[in-house]
Every structure is written in structure tokens, then in C-alpha cells.
Structure 1
Amino acid sequence: MIPLQLTLKNFLSYRDATLNFRGLHTACICGANGAGKSSLLEAITWAVWGKSRAATEDDVINGGAKSVRVDFDFSCNGQTYRVIRSRTRGRSSTLEFQVETKAGSFRSITAKGLRATQEEVVSCLKLDYDTFTNSAYLRQGRADEFMLRRPSDRKQVLADLLKLDRYEELSGKAKDTAKEYKGKIEQLKKSLEPLAVELTKRAEIATELVELKQELIQLQEEQEQSRKNLEELRAIDYQRQTWSKQLAIQQTQHQNLTQDCDRLVQDINSLQKQLTAVTNLIEQEAEIVSGYNQFIAWQTQENELSGKFAIHQEAQQEKRQLEKELEQQKNDLNLQIDRIQTRLEGIEQQEQDNLKVLAKTKDVESALVKIQTSRQQLEELDRLQQYISPLIKQKNELETLINREEAMLSAKLEQLHNSAQKLAETIDKVPEQRHQLLTVDAQIEELNKKRVYQTRVKEKGTERRDFQTKLQENQRIYERQIYELQQKVQMLDNPDAVCPLCDRSLDEHHRHQVVDKTQKKQQEIEEQIWVIREQLSTCDREIQLLIAEYHEISREISPYDSLQQQYGQLEAQLLATEELYDRLQTTQTEKDNLELSLRNGNYAVELQTEIKRIEGELQTLNYDEKTHALVRGEVNNLRWAEIKQAKIEDAKKRQAKLDRQKPELIKEINDLQTSLEKLHINSPIQQQIDGIDRQIEDLGYDRIVHQNLLNSLRESQNWQFKYQELQKAQQDYPQIRARLIELEGLLEARSQEKQKIQAQLQDHLQQQANIIDRRQEIEVLEREIYQRRQQLDELISRSGRLQQSISQIDNLKIHHQDTEKQLKEDEKQYRIYQELTQAFGKNGIQALTIENILPQLEAETNQILARLTGNQFHVQFLTQKATKGTSKKKTKLIDTLDIVIADASGTRAYETYSGGEAFRINFSVRLALAKLLAQRSGTSLQMLIVDEGFGTQDAEGCNRLVGAINAIASDFACILTVTHMPQFKEAFQTRIEIYKGDRGSTLQVSN
């Protein structure tokens, strides 16, 4: 990276400044302490990598401004680039990355997002911030960092600078993988032991299986012979069973014929009785007709009396109303009359009810005859139903199964409909869940930025603490140097003092010269101590601010874990909903197919076919279930006759009881009426009652006559029944006669058939007696076959188990071989990862890298150191040293990184060199490390920034340092040095003067 131009706007102490690096090769950035020298360099690191010494990102903004912007043009690999980084207070930073075109303008190559653009910049430079600060940027206070470490720690520092920790991570991963393979190896070895034991059992099982097969063949032969004998005996027994079945059939036929003959005899006897009764009834025709005519005449007379009875009843009602008015005067008497009258009316009503019941006597008797006939027909149909019922039951069961299948399909259709509806509702919630996910993701992204910023704050705090520690260490060094200088001054105050360097006597002139030089150096160190103290105070304030800011950010990012958990849940829900679309499509297709099947009846096809077959068989039997139901209904409908017959008998008993009660009640009413007449002879109501009585008298209605007429009607009602029976007898006589002749002919035919069957039955009984019964032999043979079958099943089962065991052992053998192969492979991988663990470890590639780089580092350091010291110093790096063991004869080599420094007087410890000498050594080592780090990062070190204090150098040391910088200038495209010492800045032709005033820092380039 070669700087071309730097433009600052509101960055730290700068309001508006531009520095053009074109034409600058070696330049000195000079100015007073706090003028803004280091800020100029910090602007470069902030623009390119977004990092600076500021505690927070907003701290880089000038105190009086709201935003900051830094433009940095640089050349890399022959191409010109521009980085523009800006930030508004309280907002995030923006980064623009551009490349120069052939036309001289800049084209944006900014990636999507700040992080991606930053990666593009680093990829272009092949240089990250840590490598830059440890190579091209030699920051103040870090020149002696490497040299002040203990020899045992220098290797670690060098490893950190070379970024060898990635090999340590690889070593840890290889070690973990090796442990995994070791565990797998132990597990595989344990699993191989039982497999080997099982494989040894195969020969024993194979021998047992051969013996078992021989025994099985022998038993099968015996079983086959027994089966043949059984078939012969079953053939003989089958003939016997055939004769037995034929005999049973003939016996059943004979029994049925006997029952038919008996039933026909009973039917003939019944018909003969009916015929006799009908004949007797026809012979009484004249008497019945005469009695029936008398009944009709009485019935006509009774109708006339019924009309008068109605009028009489109305008059009686009016009379009772008037009597009720009179009864109000005598409540007790009226209540008695009403109660008795009510009882009388109840009796009359009961008489009427009884008359209605008794009027249906003839109809009941006719219905009883019909129910008997219907019951006979019902018995015939019931016998036919007993044969058909299983078919009907099977049909009903099939219909039930079909209906159940239809119901199941309907329920499944409903379930699919509900599932589809629920899936659709769940899918409708996806946009809301996605919106929630995006919201949570935005919150997490914001918190991630804060976490990154918190990490930066922590790193900045650590850096400030390290810088504080180094300042304190430098302060102690300077205080020790002041103490040494004070001792020198005290020694020089003695007139006989000698030179502290060469031990020669000093004259007055030289003594004053040495004292002046020592006091001047003491003053410079005191100035450095005051600078360090000021820096320590500033550093302490910055650390306190960083701690407070770190805690504040920690409080702000506390919801991070809960948001991560919520994000995971929402993401899992969205992933789960991706399957819902396929499930919804499948459910909808299945629902459509079910609806089509239900609509077309394409279900339970076999059951529907079976129902059609049963319906055909029922049609062949010519059984009409409706006729059966009608007959059964007719029987049920005629049962009322039996109930009415019982009611008629009850009505006769009730009427006899009423006939006894009615005269007594009438007498009581007459007595009460007489009493009422005596009480109310002259009242107007009584006169009305008298008028009603005269009206009743004029009506001429005689209740007794009416009652006698009704009794006569009841007595003669029998003639009506007999007349109906006579008509029915005249109708039934020809049918009964014809039916009797038919049954007598049928009886004769059945008797002849019965005699024929009986003769055949005797013949079959004689033939059956000649057949030998072999059933006992068959049972014995079947038991033998069954027992042998059990033995065969047991042997076959054992054979199967043995064959399965052999098959399992064969599979175990394959598994054993696979396991051995896997064991060898895992052992191979285990060895490989063990070697990788060692190779990536500190004694492997890391040690080898350091061993390889140290000669180059040593040569580069000595080359630079020779330029700085006039070939007076030489540095040597030792990686091992010998130590004595427990035995005096044995020595032991240990790893270390000692730095041996030799001068004209020989080798001596680093701590014994003066400040100027130590700085030249530190500078040489640091500069050599910088060049090596740049080479290892894949880029050449074209820029060098030296921000170090050169106060330890005397005039000759400064000249040598400047000479060394000029000597190595050809290796770099641009070298910038930072100092506040006037004598040092004069050594450079090009100077960048930094001034700080009321409007902030300004710069000026002078030659």
C-alpha cells in the first residue's frame, strides 16, 4: 500500500485538512506534543480498517461537529483505489470503496453492507489491521516490546505476530479428532470380542442341523404312510356316512309325512265340527229371521224414545238449574241432592258405556273366528321366514357394513375437510410469522452491532491497559536512569573524580563538560517522565470511560439471548410451515377422491355384490315380507276382539251391579225432592219447576218403559248376532265342504307316500347293518398323525431357528469383517491425526516456522543494525540452550529464544546497554520483524511509519538513525517518521509541520 492523498473532515482535532503524499519519499511529521501528529496516522487506519485509539466510534468526530469523513487514496499492485469512510454522531458508519478507471474517474466497487465492503478492502490490500500495526506502523512505546520479554515468552510473542495460533487451533481439532477415533477404536475392539465368540458356534449348529434334517425326513415318511392309511379308512367311512345320511333323510321324510297326516286328520276333524255347526245354524233359519225382525221393530221404537229422552234430559237440566238456585238456600240439602244425582248420572253413563260394549258382541265373535284363520296363515309364513331369516340377517349385516363404510368415508372426508381448513389457517399465519422473524432479525442485527462495538471497546480497554503498563514500566526505567545520573553527578562533584566510562582522571574542563551533559540528559529524562505521567493520567480517564461504556452496552444487549431463542423458534415454525403446502395439496386431493367415491358409490364393491346375490336368492324363494307383515298386522289388529271379549264380560258384571244400585238412588232423590217441594212450594222458581214438570208430563216419556225396551233390545240383540252368523254360515258352507273333500284326498295321498317311505326305510336299515364302522380306527390314526404333526412342527421350528442362527452368524461374520476393516481404517486415521496433532503443535510446524524465519530475521536485523551502529553491534538468536541434568555427566537442551548482543568488547546482557544503544537494537529488530510480517501477509512492505521517541539518541545516534532510515529508504515507497525533537526533524528534507490552534489542527508540507 502506497499512500497518495489523505483528506480529513472533522476527524479528531482536524476540522478540514488534506495531505498529498505524491512526491513524498521520506518525510518527517513534526510538531508539538498534542498537536495531532498521531491523529494524522490514526486517520489512515480508521479510513481503511475502521479502527483507531478512540474509545467509541463517535469519539473520532470533532467536538464541535456532528459528522466525520476521511478520504484516503492509495496505490496497490499498480492500481489506484479510494476509501471513503464517514459517520454521523449516534448512527452507524458508512464505507465506500472505489477504483480509478482509465479515464481518471473513480468507479464504485462497494459490496453489499459495511462488513462485506471491509472484507473487499482487506482482500485487496492482503493486509489486516493487526498485521499493519505490527509491520508498517511502528507505534510509539512498542519498540522494545519484543526485547523486554523473557526468553521463554519471546517465542510466544513471535508466534502471535506470525499468527501461528491458527496452527494451535488445528492441533486442538486434530487432537480432539484423534480422541474420537481412539474412542471408536476401543468401542470396535470391545464389539469384536462377542462377535468372535458367536462365530465359533457355527460348526456346532451346522452339525445339529444335519442331524435334525435326517430325523425330519424319517418322520415325514412315516407321516405320509399314515396319511395314506387314513385316506383308505375315510373312504370306507364316507360310504357308511352316505348310507347314514340317506337313512336320516328318509327318517326325516317319514317323520314329516307322519306329522302331515296327523295335522290333516286334525284339520279334517275341525272342518267336520265347523260343518256340523253351520248345518245346525242353517236349519234354525226361520226362528232366527223372526227374532231378528222383532229386534228391528224394538230398535225403531227405541229410537223414538231416545228422541223424547233427549228432550226429557233438557227439561231435567233446566229443572236442575232451577233446583240449584233453590239449593242455595239450603246448602246441605242441595249438596246431598247433587251428590246423589251425580252418582245416578254416573250409573246411567256407565249403563250407556256398557250398552256400547255389549253392542259389539257379535262383531267380536266374528273377529275371533278371523284371528284364528290369520294365525294359521302366520304360522306358515313364520316357518318360511325361519329359512329366509339368515339370508335377510346377512343382507342387513352387509347393509350395515356398507353404511358403516360410508359413514367411515364420510367421517374421514369431514376430518380431511377440517385438516385442510386448519392447514389453510396455519398457512395464513405465515406472513405474520415471517414479519415477526424479520423484526426479531433486525433487533438481533442491531444488538450484534452493539456486541461488535462492545468487543472493540473491550479491545480498546485492553490496549489502553497494556499501554498504561508500558508507560509505568518506562516510567520506572526513566526513574532508574535519573537515579543513575544523580549518582554520576554526585561522583563528578568530587574533585578527584574519574570518567565513569573510561576511568581516566578528569580535568576541570572535561569534568564540567561531563556534568553539563549529564544534567542535560537528566533534564530530558525528567521531561519524558512528565510526558509519561500526563499520558498515564489521560489513559486512566480513558479506561474509566471505557469501563462505563462497556457496562452500558452490556445492559443494552442483555435481551440478545432471548431474541436468539425467539428467532430460532420462529425460524423453526417457518421451516415447519414449508411442509404444510404439500400436506394441504395431498389432503385436498384425497378429499376430492373421497367425495367422488361417495358420490358414485365406488366403495365396498364386494359387499354390494354379495347383497345383490342374496336379493336374487330371496326373489327365487318367493317370500313376500310385506304379505308376512300384513298377516302379522292383521293378527295384531284382530287382537282387539280378545280384549273386547274380556271387556264384554266385565260390562255384564258391572251392569248387574248398577241394576241393584239405581233404584236405591232414585228413591233417595225422590225423598230429597219431596223435601225440597215442601220447602219451596210458593216460590217463583218452584212455579217454573212445576211448569217444567208439566212439560215433561205432556212429553209422555216413560223412563221405565224406555228402560224395559232397552232391556228387551239387549235380550233380543242375540238374534242380530245369530242372523249375522246365519248369513256367514250360508256363505261359508260351500267353502268348508270343498276344503273338507280336498283335505280327505290329501290325507289319502300322504298315507300312501308314508307307506312307501317306510318300506324304503326298512331296506336301508338292513343295508346299513352290513357296513363295518371304522370310526375308532380313524380316530386312533388321526391322533397318531396329529402327534407326529406336532413333532414335525417342532423339528421344523428347531430347524428354522438353527438356520436363522446360521444366517445370523453369517451376517455377524460379515459384520465382523466390516468391523475389522473399520477398525483398521480408524487406527489409520488415529495415527494420522496424532501425527497432525504433533505437526500442528508448538514443536511442529510452529517451531519449524520460527526456526526457518529466525535466520532471516537475524540477517535482516543485523543488516539494519549495522547501518545504525557502524557495524559495532551484532545480534544472534538462539533457540536452544544446554542445562545440567540431575547427573553431572548429562546435559539437557531446552527451548528458548535468547538474543545475544555482541559489540567490540564482546557479548553482554541487553539490560546493560544504554538507552540510545538499546533503542537502536530495538529499532533494528522491530523493523526487521515488520518486513518479515509484510512478506508473510502476501504483500510487499511499501510503506513504513515510525512513531517512536528518539530522545534517547545523542547527536551521533540521531545521525546514524537518520542514516539508517535513508539507507533503507530504497526498500520502501514512502517512509514517515513522527517526532517533536527539532534536531531530528532537521535531518529530513521533507517535513509535515503540524500546528494546533483555536480552529483545531492544521498541517503544512515544507521542503
Structure 2
Amino acid sequence: SALELHIRRNGSFRSFTASTQRETQARIRDILRMDYDTFINSALLLQGRADEFTMKPPAERKRILADILGLSIYDEYEERAKELIKEKEQAEREVQARIQEIERELQHRKEYRRELKAAKAELGQLSSRAKDAETELQGLRDTLKTLEAQKLQLADVEQRIQGAEVQLRDLDLQIQSHSQRLAAHESVLERREQIQAGHTRLLQARDEEAVYSAKLPQLLSLREDAMRLEKAITETRQGLELQAHILAERAAELQEEAAQRPQLQSEHAQVSQQLHRLAALQTKVQQARQTIAELSSERSKLDARNKDLIVEMKSLEEKLSLLRKPTATCPLCYQDLSEDDRQRLLVQFRQDGRKQGDEYRANRSRLKQLSSQTESLQSDVEAIEAELKKLPALQGREATLRKAIQEAEEAGTRLEEQQLLLTSLRYQIEHRDFAAEEQQQLTALQARISALEYDSAAHEQLRQTLKALEHFEADRAELERAQEMLTELRSNQQQLLKTRQQWAATLAADTERHAELAAALAGFEGLAHSLQAKQQEADEIRSREGHARQVLGAAQQKLDYCRFLARERRDRARQQKTLAEERGLYDELRVAFGKRGLQALIIETVIPELEEEANELLSRMTDGRMTVHFETQRDTKAGSTIETLDIKISDEHGARSYEMYSGGEAFRINFAIRIALSKLLARRAGAQLQTLIIDEGFGTQDTDGRQKLVEAINSIKEEFQRIIVITHIEELRDAFPVRIDVYKTAAGSQISLN
């Protein structure tokens, strides 16, 4: 099933269908401000349920009337008032709990005052002690500062002593180094003539080696080109050798294939012979199967004939049985027979019986022969078929052998070609008939290499000589440096000796000062321990003083918090009073918005109008005989009053229960009440529903009653935008100005507008 919602605006319909039927139904309820139950109790008179409103319990009738009047908003107000009452009650409980919590805290104020007084006294004592300890501590600190300054001087002196010692060691090393260098330079000067002669021989050897070195790059370039050409020639030869090797292997393979040809031809002849034999057997099988089919056809005919003969012989036996009786009648025409005719027929039928019996027995004998022949032929066919199963394999082998023979013949032809190519390649390799240009270039290069006259042994001998003489280069440089630096080194040596004497004097003075400072710092460790002990004592006093200040602050904070709580308690008491007053107001609103409040007053106001509308229609339809009366309250046995919506119906005989009226009268009562409810619905504020739908109901009325119902409907048409009447009664077809006829056809239901 489907549920869609469309609303007409500005001449066109716009879809307001939700994603689910439940949501769409909720939108319809929100727009119309009523549910389906209220709708079928007011604006819609369903077929067979015109008494929907009348037959409901009084409380339910009153709920539907409230829904029609749109009183559900007061239910929402009542629920909102209840929610606000709960909120105020919860707030009151929270405020009361806070007041009790504050009062419990305020009970500790005397205790907090005592704590404050004790903390002030202890803080005074500790502050005085801390001041005295700080004075003593400052004196120790001043003394310690003086000692620390002397300690720094001592460290400075020690550092200067260490520096002087380092400088003296460095100067000793430098003096020793200068002495060694002076000795070395003097030794070099003693070898002056030897060094100069060796250096001259070195220069001559370098000139000779330069000549060979100039030829070497040319030689290397020529040799590189020669190696490239030799490589190309070698690669060409290897390529030819590889081709020859491949051709030799291929020739061997082809020779092996060609050598298999006689064996393959012999085997092919044997296989062909077997295939010819199997082909003959295949023909024999086909002939045997054809013979079996012919024999089978003959057997079928004989079997059918024997079955007919059995029937004929049984019929003939029956006829003979009839003719053996003296009073027999003709078994064919059923006429009376004379004795001669009976005997003649007996003889004829016996002769016919013997002929049929002879034919039957002859057929039986022939059937046995046919069965024997069929079995023999079938056995031969099975044996031949077993032999013929080899045929596919033999055919495949014959094709394989035929192809192999063809390949062997082709291999013989290709073998001759391969052998010719192989002979040609071997001749080229043996006579070096390849890479002719590269070989010519290589010969020319080898001639140029010889023309260079490069002697690698002589070149290597010169290199060894240069290596042996190369130290004279360094010796000559050292000789020149020794001549230049000898005077400077002697001057530096004198300056280093003078500097060393000065550093030795400084070291002696610092050592004396170090002894003086060390004696002054003899009591430094004891003073440091005394200062540490006094510092710990002062720290402990300050710690206790700080704790006392914290206790004092905490006590003062607690008393300040108590004063804050006292102010908060007064504010909370005022807040509690305000919440109680607001809760009382909301409780009054809850009663006012409830069923016994404004809703009851509104219903009491509407009931006379509803009663008047219903009685006006009912009087018109019953010629003033019947009236209805609504009662909204009822007395209980306990003496109290309850809210209700009872319907009292009266006619010329007095008040009677609803069930005592006929179907036509009951419908007119229901119709009058429902029309009155629909008028209320059409006039209500907010969401008006100015549509009335009447589904059947006319069947309970006689002609006069139907006419009065039509008159009643026409009398209220000005109060509704649209009245829809659904009926199957033909005489009502022309009772209303606009009619939609629904009728059935072969293509389905059709409508027409009149």
C-alpha cells in the first residue's frame, strides 16, 4: 500500500509525502490537527459505521469532542505546567540541600577562629627565631666569602704554576728541536759536492726518459688499434667457426633423419597392410549388420504371423466346437445347418486348421534358424568390432609414419645443401678468407710499430735509474734550505734560552705565593661545615614559619568562606521562597488547563450549540418528534460528580435508550449528531475542515425518510465548501446537482461527471 500527501497552492499541487507512511500520516495529523479516529467520528460517515460516535463510551465521546474543538493544546499546556512544576520542585530540593550543606559548614566557625589565633601566636615566635638565625648566618657568609676569594687566588696561582711548567717543557722541547735541526743542516752542508753531482746525473736521465715517454703514447695508440683489428678478425673467425659448428650439427641431425627412411618405409608398409585388412573387416561388419537387420525384419514378420495364426486357430477351434453339436448353427451367419452342411464345414475347418498348424510350425522352425543365424552373425560382428578398435590408433600411426617419411626425404635433400655450405665455410676458415680489409690494416699498423724503434727494456732501465736518483732532488732542496736557515736557527736558539730563564723566575715567585695562600685556607672546610649546619637550622625555621603562614592563611580563608556561605544562605532562602511561589502558580495553571478546567468550561459552552444544531436537523427529519440532549456531568453513588458526555434521546413517548429505536430512526439520530459535529469542525479556529463525506446509510430509510435526509443535506450545503455523498440507490441519482457515476466496463471501472 502507498500513502501520499499533496497540497494545492497557487493553482498547482505540491508533494509533501515523507520517506515513510508513518511520517506522512504524522504530517497529515499535524496539518488537520486531528487523528483518523476523530475524522471518522465527525466529517466522515463510513458505511455501516454511522453510529461510530454514538456507540463510543462517554469518556471517549468527550475526548473526540475535545479534539474537534482543538482542545489538545490545553493538554499540551497542562503537560508543560506539570514539567515546570517538576523542575521547580527539583530546584527547591537542590536549594534546600545546599542550605543544609551551608549550615553544616557554618557550625565549624568557632573552631576556625581558634585555629586562626593559635596560628598567629606560633607565627610570631618563629619569625623572631628566623631573624636571629639569619643574622648569624650572614656573619658566617661574609667570612666564607673572604676565604672563597683567597681560594680563587690560590686556584689562579696554581693555574699560573701549571702554565709556567707547561711553557718550560715546551721551551725545552723547542731548544732540543732547534739543536737537532742545527746538527742536521750542518750535516747536509758537509755533503754539498756529492749532492750536486747526483743532481746533475738525475737531470740527464730525465731528458733520456722524456724521449721514450714521447714515443710511448704513439705506441699505445697503434697497439690499441691493432688490438681492435685483431679482435674484429677473431670475432669474424669465431662467427664463421660457430656457423660451421651449427651446420655440422644440423647436417648430423639431417643425416640421422635421412637414415631412418628405410625403417620408416618398412613400418609404413606393415601399417598400411593392417589398415587394408581392417577396411575389409569394416566392410564385412557392415554386410553382417545389414544381414542381421534383414533377419530381424523377417523374425518380426514371422512373430506377427504366428500371433495371427494362434488367434485364427483359436477361432477355428471355437467354430469346430460349435459344429460338433448335432443342432449346431452356422458360426458365420448363425443360420440352422443341415447334417451335410455341418459335416462339410467340419471337414473344411479341419483342413484349414491343419494348414494353419503346418504354417505355424514351419514359422517356428524358421524362427529358430533365424535366431541361430543372428546369434552367429552378432558374435562375428563383436569379434570384428573388437579388432576394429585398433583402427584409430593405426590410422594415427600411418599418418605419423607418412609425415616422418616425407620429413626424412626432405632431410636428405637439405643434407646435401648443408654439406656444401659446411665445406665452403671450412675452406674460408682454413685459408683465412675473411676480414680482408682488417687484415691489411693490421699489417700496416705492425709496420708502423716497428718503425717507432721503441725499446721497453731500455725505457724501464731509465725509470729505475730515475727512481734511484730522485732523492738528489730533495737533497739539493734541503742543501739550499740549510744554507738559508742556518743563521736564523742559531739566533732563535739564543732567544729560546733567554725566554726559559724568565719563565723559571716567574714559577719560583708563584710557588712562594701558593704556600702563603694554602696556609690561610687551612680552616676553610670547618667554616663551610658550620655554615651548612647554620643554613639547615635557618631553613628549618623558615619552613616552619612558612607552614605557620599557610595554617594562618587556611584558617583565615575558612572564616572568609563562612562569611560567604552566610550571604549565600540568605540568597538561597530567598530563592527557595521564590521557587515555592512559582511552583504554586504552575500548579494553578495545571488545574486550569486540565480536563476539569478550561476544557470543561469550553465544552460546557459548546454543548448547547451542538445540541441546538443536532435538534434542528433531527426535528426537520422527524417532523419534530425526536430530540437529543447532552449531559456533561453525572452524579455517582458516592455523592460526587464526574465528567461525562451522555446522550439522552426522546420522542413523543418519552426518553428511551438508543438501542430501542429502529435502524432508520437510529441513523437519523446519528446523522443529526454527526452533522452538528462536522459544523463545529468546519468552524473551529486553526485548521478548519469544511468537507463532509457521507458513505451510504440511505438504505435504512424508507422513501419519506430518504427525502428528508436529502432535504437536510441540502439545507446545510452553504455551511460546507464540499459535501460528498456516496450511494448505490438509483432514485437518489438526481437528488444532487453534481454527480460522478462509476460504472464497470470490459476495460475496467470508468467514471463520468454529470
Taking structure 2 as the reference length, what is the TM-score of the superposition?
A: 0.48
Taking structure 1 as the reference length, what is the TM-score of the superposition?
A: 0.38
Bigger radius of gyration: 2
